[in-house]
A and B are shown apart, each in its own frame.
Chain A
Amino acid sequence: MKLVFHGGGYDRDNRELNLKAIELSGEKKPVIAYIPAQSYDSEVDFRDFVKEHQKYGLRQFLYFPIDYPFDNTLKRELLKADIIHLSGGNTFHFLKYLKEHKVFNDLKNFAKKGGILTGLSAGAIVMTPRISAATYPDFDCDENEVGLLNFTGMGLVKFEFFPHYSNSRRYDDELKKQSLKLKYPLYAAPDGAGVIVEEDKIKFVGKVACFFQGKKMFMN
């Protein structure tokens, strides 16, 4: 599988990770689909996304909101893309509609068959086994505005991912505490940083921290 996890930030902050995703596709000008975490206000985000990716020479884009009804013609085009990017936003909202509109399993299969799946913040969290990382810390978590009860994510990797990480005591205390509940590592990436998974290899871009069994270490 080829996956890219973005810690957050604007598209321009993620240049290295974006270029890596393009490289992973093996295409010079891959087709890239953009799935916003929520359609509300997402047309403007899509515009920014396109503008940034045009700088890398990309020319074929698909905007595919999943929280309102869509046509199967478009869904087929989505799954034909080389790269599918899952945007940031409210993680609970995103997961609810990915499942409700039956895109969730399609994306898992897309990734398993070699498609490049990239996610930023909420989009990255939904690729992990559970979306618990959206629930903490209290001072910086998503509101479960849709009343989601099942937090099971795509489970494409055996780690959890915490975006918008800030190297500070109050974040560290919370993340160490949370890591004690997990059997696998919890990677925390600040804006612009991230994790690249290519089959069984894992690479880190920027200052990514790993929290495991109550301890913290930096990965590079």
Chain B
Amino acid sequence: MKSSVIVFPGSNCDRDIAVALEKMQFKNQMVWHKETKLPKSDLIVLPGGFSYGDYLRSGAIAGKSLIIDEVIKAANDGCLILGICNGFQILTETGLLKGTLLRNKNLKFINQDVQVKVINNETKFSNKYKKDEVLKINIAHNEGNFFTNNDHLQELKDNKLIAFKYCDEEGNVNQQSNPNGSLENIAGIYNSKKNILGMMPHPERMIDKLISNTDGINLFSSLFN
């Protein structure tokens, strides 16, 4: 499998995701945002960070960069796209994913390991997980409060497009286990064709027992199935 990681000024998880992809045997390339051609890729990753210093709105400027037209074309052709954290914000700004990420409800930057529940385990990104499996994954963001309109929320539920929800250690999804105020505890969503996943938690930080845990590995190994 070939992967491309798009790098913007202000991306800061680009190296982490590259390490994770290479560990999982992806042939990875880094692609600068000013490029107008994408290398042939099975997976394109928009990494976490603070592209353009979060000017205007998180992800708004990166969402209009030169390479994004190519990413949108690839996405429409069925290429797998993964947006993590700032990458998720960029995906919503490009329109590839609907909804948006608001400021955290408590107005604080949150950096902590939280529990998330696998809601749909029947996608290219999640087939190695069990349904309702509880993962411990790091979040680190200021704007992770997922918001969308009622029609889209209904579409997410009806078509099983909710990927992950914040929960507690027992898997209970409730207000206490919602770190940032996200609508219905939503931590990650798919587009209607399920080839695009946007998520606030950082699976690339959970691939090594020595520094964290290995709960993120199955997301990458699922892609080989």
A and B from one complex: no
- What residues make up the interface of B, taking CB atoms closer than 8 Å to A? none
Task: Report A's interface with B, CB cutoff 8 A.
Answer: none
